[in-house]
């Protein structure tokens, strides 16, 4: 695992310890809308849904966009046709803020994915209390026992678990643990290198019952046209939208590319 990833996970352990000490809200905040159906939103037949991400920085790129009100961004995403929104809530490494999640939940009607480094059940319960509809679980950073417990907990709470994998070993772990939505990360967490062929190579190994999302390294309509031939249901895109001077136009470009017909679609 890349040294930066080890640094992130060490810091997450400290965050979890602090979270346990201060405790959680007693339940979902009473003034928040109910949980939304993330799974249905991202898997509409005949199209590739766009999960548009709010991400101000990353360890591999640095600052992507200067801070602005994330509610403005999520409204742009919704109006441009995104299927769902992903909010990076890690502050130290990605410039995110968990406190933005309840505000976003009230600002739009789309399902919201909390994207962070979830390593403990208290973070899942925290996600629920802040208004998340789905959470990211990274197979590479979790043991098989941890992953299975967190997937089960998500389902018990009504949250949708999106299980991220990068290779066949991650995929086997995810499927064995009951993952139904598989996110294929085109970024190698060992090297931080990105290659869209990670999705193309792994899709044939994913059980047909699973929904597949391609993550990382997707910048334009050509990338989506390439990926749609594999039979994925959605893409998660952050950097290319966040760094664009025309965020609405870029989002529409990706949405329209996912809605185009005429290309082979679906896994044989």
Closest Cα partner for 170 from 156, 155, 186? 186
| Nearest residue to 83 (alpha-carbon basis) of 128, 129, 36, 124 | 36
Q: What angle do CA 204, 231, 83 make, to 5 degrees?
A: 130
The answer to whether 148 is a known catalytic residue is no
Q: What pLDDT digit, counting tens, does each position of 182-210 carry?
A: 999 998 888 888 899 999 999 999 999 99
Out of 26-35, 94-103, 214-223, 244-253, least confident range: 26-35
In terms of Cβ atoms closer than 10 Å to its own Cβ (0-12, 13-18, 19+), residue 22 is exposed
Residue 228: pLDDT band by 50, 70, 90 thresholds?
Answer: confident
**Cβ atoms of residues 237 and 113 within 8 Å:** no
Catalytic residue, from 105, 115, 173, 250: name it. Answer: 115
CATH code reported for the domain at 3-26+38-256: 3.20.20.70
CA atoms in the 13 A half-sphere facing the CB of 2: 12
**Of 43, 127, 185, 240, which residue is the catalytic one?**
185
Name the residue ranges covered by the structural domains of the chain: 3-26+38-256
Whether 86 is a known active-site residue: answer no
Sign, CA dihedral 140-160-224-207, equals: positive
Active-site residue among 216, 230, 240, 253? 216
Active-site residue, 53 included = yes
- Name the active-site residue from 126, 164, 186, 253: 164
């Amino acid at each position: 695992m890349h040294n930066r990833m080890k640094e992130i996970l060490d810091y997450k352990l400290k965050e979890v310890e602090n979270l346990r000490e201060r405790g959680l809200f007693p339940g979902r905040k009473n003034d928040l809308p109910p949980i939304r159906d993330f799974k249905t939103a991202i898997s509409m037949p005949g199209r590739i849904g766009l999960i548009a991400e709010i991400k101000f920085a990353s360890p591999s790129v640095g600052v992507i966009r200067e801070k602005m009100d994330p509610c403005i961004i999520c409204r742009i995403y919704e109006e441009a046709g995104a299927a769902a929104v992903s909010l990076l809530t890690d502050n130290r490494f990605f410039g995110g803020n968990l406190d933005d999640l309840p505000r976003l939940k009230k600002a739009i009607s789309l399902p919201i994915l909390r994207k962070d480094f979830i390593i403990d059940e208290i973070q899942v319960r925290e996600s629920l209390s802040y208004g998340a509809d789905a959470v990211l679980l990274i197979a590479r950073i979790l043991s098989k026992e941890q992953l299975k417990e967190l997937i089960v907990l998500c389902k018990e709470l009504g949250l949708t678990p999106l299980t991220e994998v990068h290779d066949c070993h991650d995929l086997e772990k995810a499927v064995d643990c009951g993952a139904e939505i598989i996110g294929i990360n085109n970024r190698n967490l060992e090297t931080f290198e990105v290659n869209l062929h990670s999705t193309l190579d792994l899709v044939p190994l994913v059980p047909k019952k699973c929904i597949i999302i391609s993550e990382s390294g997707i910048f334009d309509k050509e990338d989506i046209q390439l990926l749609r031939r594999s039979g994925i249901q959605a893409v998660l895109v952050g950097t290319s939208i966040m760094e664009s001077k025309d965020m609405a136009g870029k989002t529409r470009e990706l949405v329209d590319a996912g809605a185009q017909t005429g290309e082979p679609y679906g896994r044989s």
